[in-house]
Amino acid sequence: MPSEQILAASAKHPKPDTTFQYGTAGFRMKANLLDSVVFRVGLLASLRSRKLNGQTIGVMITASHNPPEDNGIKLVDPMGEMLEQSWESHATWLANSPDDKTVVERYHTIASELKINLENKANVIYARDTRASGSSLVASLVDALQSSGAVYTDYKLLTTPQLHYLVRCINTKGTQYEYGEVSEKGYYEKLADAFKRAIKGKTVSGAVTVDCANGVGGPKLREFLKYLPTAADGGIDIKVVNDDVLKPEALNMNCGADYVKTGQRAPPSSKASPGDRCCSLDGDADRIVYYFVNPKDNAFQLLDGDRIATLAASFLADLSRQAGLSEKLAVGVVQTAYANGASTHYITSDLKLPVVCTATGVKHLHHAATRFDIGVYFEANGHGTVLFSPKAVKQLTYAYEPQSPAQKTALDTLRALLDLINQAVGDALSDMLLVEVILAHKGWGMTEWTRTYVDLPNRLVRVEVRDRGMFKVVDAERQMEEPKNIQSQLNELVQKYKDGRSFARPSGTEDAMRVYAEAATRAEADQLATRVADLVK
């Protein structure tokens, strides 16, 4: 009987005295607290697959840019998207069951409330990043999958986006939406082939140095290089740095996308010369930021998610115009309130494209991007991708007949990008190749890319508060509804600053408030941030 098996297996994974919550990116915390959570998420993965008639569900064990001693777990839905939001509360409920008996009871309650046929097959695949705690957490997961009778496959070490890719490939196999071959090799081959088609006839100037945060992106990028043509073969030269995965304590330490974005500086280990094109991935390779040292003034210049979004949007809108498709396909950009005001202004005023603002967290942006035919979404921190609607896919792949050789060329590039860009989730390796392709097409270096607009000085501060639960934010986190009096005071403050803008929101991953402020000068942005922080303290 599965119930007895689940009960017995659960007893091996006792819950510590902690309250868990499935947050913006699943459960994430110190790895030594996660054993019971992983077991219970495994049970939920079985339920989710059964609910969806045996479609394959993904489980990723990673804590992304967090320190090495942390870990985390998140579920991937059949098309490679994040777990449907309504299921997050089931995950939280199951994870907080006080004892094993309650685990089994709640497992059955979820099944009966959601009308899940427990006789259905359950299929689950999983992978992990390079953290030392990963393999023991995988053992807890396997206990859950076995005791709940799921069929499962261990994909060992993968980047988060690679797992999302595999889930999508499995569930689309044999349909008209077949996404790719179900293997890690299939991922490299698909992207490498798309890259070759996208870069055809163009030259990537100089090498790009990729900081892999000493995470799983390192070995995966090295493997990927075997499939990518080098510059001598009309491709790209990629220098891999910070790819030491044998020293677990090196993960995300003084390197990686989060280090670079938060500190606005290159990793101290960087040997790049002024002008060199560099980028950094995070620990599970779903985030990327670019940067370089400007040879003119030796100043560090960051090109974050906003820059990648604007670059991609301008290129895709140009291509769709050149292909003769601009009437048919609506191009738009999705950002969060953290997007630099200058980038939003550039998209609306210069590119003349619509911008939608959503709450923080990939799932919100992803969802909003599906409303465009070509929806570009990026968080400023470098999480993002471009989504093509079913209508766009149809036009690009067979319905549309180009009317001239120029239209055909643009259409071919769009088709290549459709394959190059990970449609399941933001993917640092795919995003990097996208940026490289666009720079090559535009004939741009980092200086030209930087010149598109000037970032407004900004400041982000973390504020410790007694209870962040008392803050209620609305309008894509830009307005504070509760406590009642704060927003009007915030508005008054903001009015005093030229180009001032500010908001405060409770963090979804830490017990703190975050305050963002921007203004015409550095000093004013700092001052505004401090004043707003005082308001919420």
Check residue 24 for interaction with ligand 16G (CB under 6 A).
yes
Q: Distance between terminal CA atoms of the chain?
A: 53
Q: Are residues 133 and 175 in contact, defined by beta-carbon separation less than 8 angstroms?
A: no
Q: Which stretch binds ligand 16G (CB under 6 A): 42-50, 170-178, 404-412, 508-516?
A: 508-516
Tell the smallest beta-carbon distance from residue 514 to ligand 16G (Å).
5
Q: Is 326 a catalytic residue?
A: no
Q: Pick the binder of Zn ion from 143, 286, 306, 518 (CB under 5 A).
A: 286
Size of the site for Zn ion (CB under 5 A): 5
Phi, then psi, of 43 in degrees rounded to 5? -60, -40
Residue 487's alpha-carbon distances to 461, 472, 477, 479, 518, in angstroms, are 18, 11, 12, 7, 17
Q: Pick the binder of ligand 16G from 96, 301, 479, 509 (CB under 6 A).
A: 509
Tell the smallest beta-carbon distance from residue 506 to ligand 16G (Å).
8
Q: Pick the binder of ligand 16G from 47, 347, 362, 476 (CB under 6 A).
A: 362
Tokens representing 101? 């008996």
Check residue 184 for interaction with Zn ion (CB under 5 A).
no
Task: Sheet with 355-358: list strands edge to edge.
Answer: 355-358, 331-336, 374-378, 384-388
Whether 174 has a binding-site annotation, put simply, is no
Whether 267 has a binding-site annotation, put simply, is no
CA atoms within 13 A on the CB side of 255: 28
Size of the site for ligand 16G (CB under 6 A): 13
Whether 481 has a binding-site annotation, put simply, is no
| Residue 143 contact among Zn ion, ligand 16G, none, beta carbon within 5 to 8 Å by kind | none
Q: Provide the residue type at 425 as one letter.
A: V
Tell the smallest beta-carbon distance from residue 25 to ligand 16G (Å).
4
Phi, then psi, of 125 in degrees rounded to 5? -120, 155
Q: Pick the binder of Zn ion from 284, 304, 379, 431 (CB under 5 A).
A: 284
Place of tokens 């082939």: 193
Check residue 357 for interaction with ligand 16G (CB under 6 A).
no
Whether 140 has a binding-site annotation, put simply, is no
Whether 392 has a binding-site annotation, put simply, is no
- Between strands 123-128 and 56-61, the pairing is parallel
Q: Are residues 129 and 215 in contact, defined by beta-carbon separation less than 8 angstroms?
A: yes
Check residue 367 for interaction with ligand 16G (CB under 6 A).
no
- Dist. CA 302–CA 444, nearest whole Å: 16
Tokens representing 208? 């790009």
Please, where are the H alpha helices in 148-216?
Answer: 160-172, 184-199
Taking CB under 6 A as the criterion, which residues in 373-392 touch ligand 16G?
Answer: 379, 381, 383
Q: Is 2 in a helix, a strand, or coil? A: helix
Which of these is catalytic: 10, 64, 97, 502? 64
Q: Which stretch binds ligand 16G (CB under 6 A): 6-14, 198-206, 355-363, 495-503?
A: 355-363
List of residues contacting ligand 16G (CB under 6 A): 24-25, 360-362, 379, 381, 383, 507-510, 514
